[in-house]
Structure 1
């Protein structure tokens, strides 16, 4: 073998080893730094309250779900203090639209406090019970199929975001109160949404019926001709699945459906993850807004890390999840604010370094809570 070839091979080996080391350095996680970044995010958000409608609305529900999961992992009482404070000042109320899934999302935090707060009779779950009973059992025009429009409001949970808002609450309420009927009702309505919005070919959820091609004479399309699949919308679904599976009984008869759906969505998200680790707001047309977005990416990262931690995703995908976390962390400002969060919406739109929302902070805390559990 010639000296030049040997030299070339040696250089190539050194390059590959060096590259692998650099990749490993990029992907390595310092758990104390993760904890510190999570607390900074919490402290900044608590000092800069924001909500779309009310302190009990869905944005706060998503944020405080992230706070609850951060406490579950770290046991740091700063999170429990924030949870108890908001619950107390909210007087444990939900929001007022009894047949809208968004308005009970806040109850996830109330249930978590009641189960883990260490003080009996501190939480009043009566407003949550009243909401859930009305939501599930009272007649409504949507449930009766009488409210027809292009978004498909003929079922209870007619938009995919709803699968994060109400199902984890119902599942946790069933577990906490030992009333499986609430879990069965959750499954019934979940299947309606799945059957209406899940695209089995792409293994993704349409946000609502405007983006479903089957039976639609004029479906909404991306500029590249592909179907519209919104990152945060699918983030709501996959993160909601992780929350549901975390509390669902291991022997529940319909659990295999949720595990299989989780695996399908996870497979898709891993397959289409961009090289820099952050998913774009439009999953199948990333060039529309070619920058990463943190709320959707945070929910995806939480779910994928949870899947690895719970044996539903192969550990070989850990580097992809760590890459996502590092990319998310790079979007946090020095003061703790989490940037690059798409504003409130219903389809892919751009974000910026300075765009933030409380639910983006919630997604950040959710992701960090499971990153900390990775081995």
Structure 2
């Protein structure tokens, strides 16, 4: 019966996508006069785009389904659309296929950061017109559009809002943008600063002179550059596709224009923006991630007619020129990117000038190439490429393909580890939670870390399943022991090059102890060991 229900669900989702109107490749502002600029040559901007994006793809990686990697791909796939560079297309196509076009591994989530991967899927759908690409995007959006959408931190205006706008445009069902609008208004009531016409990152930073942590040492507001970048870029992406007759359009446009004016007056002389938009002395200096997001917002605003060219193009030009001059190395590395954070003051390596300069991150690269493409497309000599979509032999997976056998051993297991992260201790390796959740995995800094499972009695084991965090292709060995001292290897997975929801190993052993020792990872450049669950199956 379970298998039948799974098949029915897949059929329903595919039919739902099949019934949607195929998207037309045009914006929502055709009544505005097309903007053409002569100050740049398209070929020069293209050279910069290729240099920066190729450097990233050759030197770094963006492979997880988490927001930071997904943001990169949301920009990279747009870069393909404007450049026709097949390397860019293939990079994001392989990423999407590796995650099987799933949102959060196909599990319902209300965490908007995990929606962002949907943006890449949606653009691939527009290019390929394959219904299976949107099936899981719609599944998770349907779950959230039932009153669950939440923008508890301002980053989600980029991660989530454009997804709902796109889905309403594609399916012609406004329930997605309707619920997103409800969530936006709720967040705006808390995080919008009317005087500054900017957003606070979340409720913790709303200015209150009587509350510590809500102001800088000089008494100014904490208006985070990247946080406002997420909002400005997210509103631009949303306005680009949103039906102008939808009730949310006027507020989004009003806020977008107000932000554009406020940001214009806070730009640094070098064209970039400080990490704190209200206090240049509070972690001041070039900060690229917020800057490139503002670039993107201004580029869309001018190109689509939301912003007047005469009033804002100089701001856009100054930003682009500033990044090219100060924040791109000769090799193509994007510099001065604040690492993952939630505020200006949470700025890793800020006081180490060289480390701060060399800091780069995938999310900033993705937004930069997307913004640069929008500027390039306005150049008088720009010619839109004829896009080539190669044949693809991908076969969609079913829900059953990714289902974990629930009949694992549920007896008492003691777990110890050579190393562990506070909050993600070794005991979480057998807590029965296989999803990617903080506090429900074993994490340890450094490869070579091991965890040992001790059973109350000797077990006859037929199968061992390892569930990695974020589908990471960890490489490891699994060993058995009867006394906890002498171990014998039973699984050698040190050459693994596969990313999957779980790794299943058939064995035929007797053991009182099982140990996993993680030696490395394929296509993951971090140094953390993070495994959600380790399941043991005994013989009948």
TM-score normalised according to structure 2 size: 0.58
Matched, 1:209 2:219: no
Which one has more relative contact order, counting CA pairs under 8 Å at least 6 apart?
A: 1
Which has the higher Rg, Structure 1 or Structure 2? 2
Q: State the partner residue of 1:149.
A: none
Higher relative strand content: 2
Deviations 1:339-374 (A, max 9, x none): 111000000133722101100101211220221133
Gaps of 5+ in 2: 1-37, 380-540
How many Å apart are 1:173 and its aligned residue? 1.4
Partner of 2:219: 225
Partners in 2 of 1:74 and 1:184 — Cα distance? 34
Match of 2:153 among 159, 162, 169: 159
- The count of corresponding residues between Structure 1 and Structure 2 is 330
Does the 8 Å CA contact 1:280/1:293 hold for their aligned counterparts? yes
Runs (5+) with no aligned partner, structure 1: 1-26, 144-154
Say whether the 8 Å CA contact 1:322–1:371 is kept in structure 2.
no
Matched, 1:322 2:326: no
Q: Map of 1:258-269 to 2, 5 A cutoff?
A: 258-269=252-263
SS in 1 for 2:356: coil
Q: What's the CA shift for 1:100? A: 0.7
How far is 1:214 from its partner?
5.5
| Match in the other structure for 1:29 | 40
Aligned to 2:113: 102
The structure 2 residue matched to 1:120, chosen from 106, 130, 147, is 130
Partner residue of 2:339?
A: 343
Counterpart selection for 2:146 from 128, 133, 137: 137
CA contact (8 A) 1:40 1:335 kept: yes
Partner residue in 1 for 2:302:
308
Find the counterpart in structure 2 of residue 292 from structure 1.
286
Q: CA deviation at 1:244?
A: 0.1
What is the deviation of 1:159? 0.6
Q: Do the aligned partners of residues 215 and 197 (structure 1) sit closer, same or farther apart at CA in structure 2, a change above 3 Å counting?
A: farther
Q: Distance in 2 between matches of 1:71 and 1:128?
A: 21
- 1:73 is matched with 82
- Whether contact under 8 Å (2:42, 2:377) holds in the other structure is no
Contact 1:136–1:185 under 8 Å retained in 2: yes
Given that 2:296 and 2:371 are in contact with CA atoms closer than 8 Å, whether structure 1 keeps it comes out as: yes
Q: Helix, strand or coil for the counterpart of 2:377?
A: coil
Contact 2:157 2:231 in 1 (8 A): yes
What SS is found at the alignment partner of 1:272? Answer: coil
Give the Cα–Cα distance (whole angstroms) in 1 for the partners of residues 172 and 86 of structure 2: 27
- Write the distance in 1 (CA, Å) between the matches of 2:210 and 2:203: 9
Give the TM-score of the pair, scaled to structure 1: 0.82
Q: Deviations over 1:257-287 (max 9, x none)?
A: 1111100000011111111100011111112
RMSD: 2.1
Q: Give the corresponding residue for 2:396.
A: none
Aligned to 1:86: 95
Question: Match of 1:241?
Answer: 235
Q: Which structure has more helix as a fraction of its residues?
A: 1
Q: Which residue is 2:372 aligned to?
A: 368
| Equivalence map 1:47-58=2 (5 Å) | 47-50=58-61, 55-58=64-67
Shift of 1:64: 1.1
Q: Decide whether the 8 Å contact of 1:29 with 1:322 is kept in 2.
A: no
Question: Match for residue 24 of structure 1?
Answer: none
Q: Which residue of 1 aligns with 2:456?
A: none
Equivalents in 2 of 1:115, 1:215: separation in Å? 49
Measure the CA separation in 1 of the matches of 2:103 and 2:334. 26
